[in-house]
Amino acid sequence: MKVIAKLPDDKCLVEVTNDELANICGHYSRYAKEFNINIGIDINISDIYKKHDLIITLQKLRSYDTARKKLNDMLNALTPIEDKINQLIVTNEEPINP
């Protein structure tokens, strides 16, 4: 993408290839069936970015949920042997008599 000019009202005139434009619109390439460009069409880049950002956020949350589930599974696995662990701790804290 190449910025050709800065325009009034905080706008820019840019030159993009068809593949770059397809990528901006969320397609793999200009050959995607859904990608169709016509002169004068409006492409709402902000909406596309917001959807992308939402997907990234959801992926991060999924990673958090996965880690939380694994930690919870570990806690559940330790709970049945908690009494034994406490007994070992108490036993090892008692002084050893020769």
DSSP reduced 3-state for 97: coil
Q: Report how far residue 91's alpha carbon sits from residue 22's, in angstroms, rounded to the nearest whole number.
A: 69
Asked if residue 20 belongs to a domain, the reply is: yes
**Is 98 a domain residue?**
no
Is residue 66, in this structure, part of any structural domain at all? yes
**Could you give the number of structural domains in the chain?**
2
Element (H, E) at 15: strand 11-15
- The model's pLDDT over 6-33, given as tens digits with 9 standing for 90+, comes to 999 999 999 999 999 998 888 888 998 8
Q: Is residue 80 part of a domain?
A: yes
Full residue range of the structural domain in which residue 32 is found: 1-39
Residue 68: inside a domain, yes or no? yes
Assigned domain for 31 exists: yes
Q: What is the pLDDT of residues 29-59, one digit of tens each?
A: 899 888 888 888 888 888 888 888 888 888 8
Whole-model pTM?
A: 0.50
Answer yes or no: do 60 and 87 share one domain: yes
Q: Are residues 10 and 34 in the same domain?
A: yes
